Amino acid sequence: MIHYLTAHRLAEMMGKGEISAREVVGLHLERIEELDQHLGAYITVEKDRALASAREADEKRRRGEKLSPLSGIPMALKDNICTEGIPTTCASKILDNFIPPYSADVYERLQRAGCVLIGKANLDEFAMGSSTENSAFKITRNPWDEKRVPGGSSGGSAAAVAAGMAVFALGSDTGGSIRQPSAMCGVVGMKPTYGRVSRYGLVAFASSLDQIGPITRDVRDCALVLNHICGHDRRDSTSVDVEVPDFEKGLEQGIKGMRIGIPSEYFGEGIDRGVKERVEEAIKVLENLGAVCDEVSLPHTEYALPAYYIISSAEASSNLARYDGIRYGRRAEGYSDLVDMFVRTRSDGFGREVKRRIMLGTYALSSGYYDAYYKKAQQVRTLIKEDFDRVFEGCDIIVGPTTPTVAFRAGEKTDDPLQMYLSDVYTIPVNIAGLPALSVPCGFSEGLPVGLQFIGKPFAESTLLRAAYAYEQSTGFHKMHPQAKEASRDEI
């Protein structure tokens, strides 16, 4: 069961000499060999590099050097986070030969902490999707039921952690792409406040919405990873220069007297009965822990989905214009002139969902339609943010479901984009308002994990973590794992 232990527990064991980083990394590599041919969580596995990094961590520990709690811990990175010398594909044919000449700020920070990159995780192409079925290379499957999706777009990252193929992972969250797959895979996932974590080296989807965050096995691990990836970065103009607290320090303070808002709009039409029941049970647990829970209203919630798809698609059409076959990435063959090369490169290189969003975004920004669509969506964005501002005048955090359903069957929604988009209906408003939010496991429906979402004020990640930790310690759902073949330490 080593591969299901948390980072903080493994750090304790390594510190006592009970296990080495080499053993931990070896077990996880063995786990990938056993399971990933079925699950498809990884695009690239860095076996030799990971083992070399693990040996380096062990050597530093033998020399008595002061090490980070994450030193020697194997991690996965979503494959839209740049890694110098290691392919970064965004799960797209147009970038299948791209090897970045630089690393993302978050990867640099985790390297300095001694983390071991074990591989790059699969995703929906350019992070556009909710099921990880839009990858150009493979479909990722849910470790709890391989006939189901893991969620998306960070489905590979969430599946890797849930299946014991990485101790933690990083994902990106534009409209729920960390929290939704974390909920569907039964792990912890956090989207920090916009600007809290540098986006330098994150391949852009929608620049005003994207944010990098951790996917972990429990809340304490989430706090540990946040301690290392948060902080100002001058290379990112949207990075906010604010103090980074020790997120682990206040976890055990409890939530007695904490005011929690329960949005009525998150329990209406579209939510599965089992999901609703698990979330309501979780709210009772929070009340028993001393929190004061009251119903609140976020009246513009119903407009968040259309506003999001206009804003995000408009930004995507602009960001993805750079993939033209000239500067880097794939170039089509057999073209007759420059325009034909553009057309062939982009037609062959992008998948169906990416093309759909490029066309939608280009239309929304076009002359004669900008005011009717993009400008109107930005006005709605302001109204949604004002809803949250009003609610937070009377409460400390907001709690509700992360997703309206449990993980759905692979192929079930691929022909109905609207139904696919609705799986992010409770996560999207958070990105529109730039707020922090966290999903933790809160039980099961149909034998599949259900996620509980905690939403906070800007830069109030510590409050969210404290509330989530109190709930987690009172329930223990984070200790439940999907059944899969165990790797033995003797098999390394």
Cite the active site residues.
78, 153, 177
Q: Of 68, 186, 123, whose CA–CA distance to 477 is shortest?
A: 186
Please tell me the distance from the alpha carbon of residue 204 to that of residue 212, in angstroms, as a whole number.
11
- Give the side-chain half-sphere CA count within 13 A for 28: 36
Please tell me the distance from the alpha carbon of residue 272 to that of residue 472, in angstroms, as a whole number.
23
Largest CA distance in the chain: 70
CA 390, 391, 396, 398 torsion-angle sign: negative
Could you tell me how many helices (H) and strands (E) the chain has, helices first?
15, 11
Q: Are 55 and 22 spatial neighbours (Cβ–Cβ below 8 Å)?
A: yes
Please tell me the distance from the alpha carbon of residue 186 to that of residue 177, in angstroms, as a whole number.
14
Please tell me the distance from the alpha carbon of residue 464 to that of residue 395, in angstroms, as a whole number.
12
CB-based contacts of 375: which residues, under 8 Å, 6+ apart? none
* Residue matched to tokens 């978050």: 106
Q: Of 272, 150, 125, whose CA–CA distance to 215 is shortest?
A: 150
Give the count of beta carbons closer than 10 Å to the beta carbon of residue 284.
Answer: 10
CB-based contacts of 53: which residues, under 8 Å, 6+ apart? 25, 72, 114, 116, 117
Q: 153 preceded by cis ω (within 30°)?
A: yes
Question: In residues, how long is the chain?
Answer: 492
Q: Are 323 and 346 spatial neighbours (Cβ–Cβ below 8 Å)?
A: yes
- Report DSSP state, residue 422: G
